[in-house]
């Protein structure tokens, strides 16, 4: 994960916040998102799945 974050930072670190806000890319369900919005979505999505996994593992442990 650290390597991925470093790669993303290396690729985008030279852009200003304003430039990242202005760069638009398509999302298949949400439509057009700025790079900043996409980063926020990716962060939320990863945290959501991590929390789901922790919850599911706790449920499995409690069943046994």
- The 10s digit of each residue's pLDDT in 1-54 is 688 778 888 888 899 999 999 999 999 999 999 999 998 888 888 888 889 999
Give Cβ neighbours of residue 34 (< 8 Å, ≥ 6 apart).
20, 21, 22, 23, 24, 25
* Structural domain total, the chain: 1
Rounded to the nearest integer, the mean pLDDT of the chain is 89
H or E stretch covering 48: helix 35-63
Domain enclosing residue 51, as ranges: 2-63
pTM of this structure: 0.64
Percent of the chain's residues with pLDDT above 90: 50
Evaluate if residue 63 carries a pLDDT over 80. Answer: yes
- In this predicted structure, the answer to whether residue 55 has a pLDDT above a threshold of 90 is yes
């Amino acid at each position: 994960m650290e390597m991925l974050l470093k790669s993303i930072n290396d690729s985008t670190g030279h852009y200003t916040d304003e430039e990242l806000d202005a760069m638009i890319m398509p999302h298949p369900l949400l439509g057009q998102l700025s790079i900043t919005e996409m980063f926020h979505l990716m962060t939320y999505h990863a945290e959501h799945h991590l929390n789901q996994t922790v919850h599911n593992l706790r449920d499995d442990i409690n069943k046994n």
